[in-house]
Amino acid sequence: MSDVELRASDRDRERVVDELRTHAAEGRLTVEELEERVQRALDARTAGELAALTRDLPDPVRPTTRTRPRRRRSAARPEVRTYLAVMVLLVTVWALAGAGHFWPLWPAVGWGVFLLTPGGARGGCAPRRRRASSI
């Protein structure tokens, strides 16, 4: 018995329907073609019947055009994001309180120096290990 004669499972049918919907969203199939192929996929009994529905479509794993890989945006360290969020909050409180002496400068400088020191925010020392009790 060949692979095309094997019985199709519900998961196989769902995978093909999802693939057909993707191709329709990319403009390869019209609405009528999609409806007809989805119905045929849901009625399919063998893997060969399912394969025939996508035979004239490109493989979804391979892109049809060569694209450049996306650059990963360098994620800011979580402690820097927290620092910036707190500083925005402090400056907002300062502005709403009458904008007198710029007191948010002191926490900004203190915490900023801590962030800039090597290992400051990352915990420069290794954590202590607990000794196993010998009981």
pLDDT at 13: 93
pLDDT band at 45, cuts 50/70/90?
very high
Domain chopping of the chain, boundaries: 3-54, 78-116
H helices present in 66-131, as ranges: 78-96, 105-116
Dist CA 17 CA 53 (whole Å): 9
Contact 10, 52 (CB under 8 A): no
For 61-95, the pLDDT digits (tens) are 655 555 566 655 555 677 888 888 888 998 888 88
Amino acid at 49: E
Q: What share of the chain is helix, strand, coil (3-state, %, to 5)?
A: 55, 0, 45
